Amino acid sequence: MKVRISAKAKDDIRQIYRYLADKNPSAADSLVADIDSKLQLLGRFPFMGRERLDMAAGLRSVLVWSYVIFYTVGAAEIIIVRFVDGRMDIDKEIQDWQV
């Protein structure tokens, strides 16, 4: 299944990468590689993530390091909605999750 990354999720990953790269460029590269691997896995197993019905209908999530990838599964594609640091106030960060 095709995986599409929303504009907001692209912004999230850019910010996360810049922050981490300032401290440890190698770790930033490793994180991006791990995210890419997880997205490829999602493409094969779209329902592997936890349902987040407490937040919104159709919303699911998986973890990569301490980051939560929020996504939805459609008929033809998976839409990555947000990448959120799990140490943040997730409810606040994800409240306007629409693509």
Q: Give the model's confidence band at 89: pLDDT under 50 very low, under 70 low, under 90 confident, else very high.
A: confident
DSSP per-residue letters across 45-80: -TT-SEE-TTT-TTEEEEEETTEEEEEEE-SSEEEE
pLDDT of amino acid 96: 63
| pLDDT, tens digit (0-9, with 9 covering 90-100), for 16-70 | 999 999 999 999 999 999 999 999 999 999 999 999 998 889 999 999 999 999 9
Residue 90 has pLDDT above 50, yes or no: yes
**Domains identified in the chain and CATH numbers:** 2-87 (3.30.2310.20)
